[in-house]
Amino acid sequence: MSLKSEFKFQLPEWLQIRQLDLPDGLVTDSQQMELAIELSRLNIEHGGGPFGAIIVDRDSDKVVAAGVNLVTTHNLSCAHAEMVAISMAQQNLDCFSLREHGNYQLVTSCEPCAMCFGAIPWSGVTRVICGATKADAEAIGFDEGPKPDAWIAALETRGIDVVTEIERTQAQAVLNKYSKMAGLVY
């Protein structure tokens, strides 16, 4: 085994093409969630995991980054959709905290796992919108980790608003489709 000196991830080609047409003016939580869910659905159709996320500028309603789950396609356990979207937004805006540049929200097709929950306060987002729940992901076998029961309150005490179960039925449908496709559960 040779030791590597770097690691990187790249958005899948289909998402690189799709992000060229990401719509502006996604004003409502539902509109934004529908895009995150669409990305999760497209990701499973292209061999990835069943999660999608976007970062939206809350002042302009413009999508500044998109992410999908790259865990199995890149052999990176930390490449969850939320982590990819946050990383891409920070690269696009050339910053390590999104608060440096404005008012951004994370829109994710499923509520964050323990790892993504931990990353949210340092990302600089001011709001998180979730689709499916931890229970929905765990129902098909995903291990969401030891996240505190009061995770929403924990984020809110840090000035991060949280809204859950937006378009939950649509988000659950993607998880269920992935399970029926016998997608790898990790």
What amino acid positions are annotated as catalytic residues? Answer: 82
Rounded-to-integer distance, Cα 129 and Cα 108, Å: 6
Rounded-to-integer distance, Cα 81 and Cα 40, Å: 9
- Crossing angle between the packed helical segments 81-93 and 29-45, to the nearest 10 degrees: 110
Q: Residues 39, 26: contact at Cβ < 8 Å? A: no
Beta bridge partners of 130: 108
Provide φ and ψ at 101, rounded to 5°.
-115, 0
Helix (H, G, I), strand (E, B) or coil at 143: coil
Rounded-to-integer distance, Cα 160 and Cα 125, Å: 7
The C-alpha angle with vertex 124 and arms to 82 and 8, in degrees rounded to 5, equals 45
Q: How far is CA 168 from CA 32, 40, 172, in A?
A: 13, 13, 6
Instruction: Please name the residue that has the structure tokens 């988000």.
Output: 171
Amino acid at 34: E
